[in-house]
Amino acid sequence: MTTAGPGERLPPALRTEALEQLLTERGLIDPKVMDGIITEYETNVGPLNGAKVVARAWTDPEYRDRLLRDGTAAIRELGFSGPQGEHIVVVENTPTTHHVVVCTLCSCYPWPVLGLPPSWYKDPAYRARVVREPRRVLAEMGLELDDDVRITVHDSTSEVRWLVLPERPAGAGHLSEEELVPLITRDAMVGVAKVTAP
């Protein structure tokens, strides 16, 4: 096991590995169970679920209305629920308003529709800066917004998690719900990117 010198901290990945090893040695966790949980969130519970929600909202106006009115219930209609998804509020990006999500305290995140949070979402720099200077942070992440687009930052908490309904891209109007799903990214549903047409 790698050790750090006095006053040094191991990188997060090494700290996680060391903690897992310690918990395994003491019989507190089963590595096979942990691997199963990780696989579940990477494959079955992840951004694909959120993409299905967005694609349905883009192709079914009644579902879109239900989603914006009661995100948790509308998401549950598609079979997506569980821990970290007890109360999800959905906000819609438009040509004049752009929503972006952060968790300033830790990394609260709607796992049932977005899977595991990306490392940048948990990074203290993102958590602090996107609140103070969202336009600049988004530009650094590759999303340039016009000056007349109003940016709203939503702070996820243990009580309320947020999901962004991105704008449907121009040129994708002819695509079916199934064809739209692969276009929709996790980053677009957090609000740090837009969905682009194929």
Please write the tens of the pLDDT for every residue from 72-103. Answer: 999 999 999 888 888 999 999 999 999 999 99
* CA atoms of 37 and 40, how far apart (whole Å): 5
The pLDDT value recorded for residue 4 is 55
Catalytic residue among 108, 156, 158, 176: 108
Q: Whole-angstrom distance between the N-terminal and C-terminal Cα of the chain?
A: 46
The reported pLDDT for the residue numbered 164 is 98
pLDDT band for position 7 (cuts 50, 70, 90):
low
121-130: per-residue pLDDT in tens? 999 999 999 9
Tell me the helices (H) and strands (E) count for the chain, helix number first: 11, 4
Query: Given this model, what pLDDT does residue 29 score?
Result: 82
- Span 47-190: which CATH code? 3.90.330.10
Is residue 119 annotated as a catalytic residue, yes or no? Answer: no
Mean pLDDT across 134-141:
98
| Distance separating alpha carbons of residues 56 and 181, to the nearest angstrom | 9
Look at residue 176 and tell me whether its pLDDT is greater than 60. yes
Out of 81, 107, 119, 176, which one is annotated catalytic? 107
Q: Are 156 and 162 in contact (CB under 8 A)?
A: yes
What pLDDT shows up at residue 43?
58
Mean per-residue pLDDT, 147-169: 96
What is residue 27's predicted lDDT score, i.e. its pLDDT? 85
Domain boundaries, the chain: 12-42, 47-190
| Cα–Cα distance, 139 to 192 (Å, whole number) | 9
Residues 19-32 have a mean pLDDT of 83
- What pLDDT, on a 0 to 100 scale, did the predictor assign at position 15? 79
Query: Is 107 in the active site?
Result: yes
Which listed residue (103, 119, 158, 176) is catalytic? 103
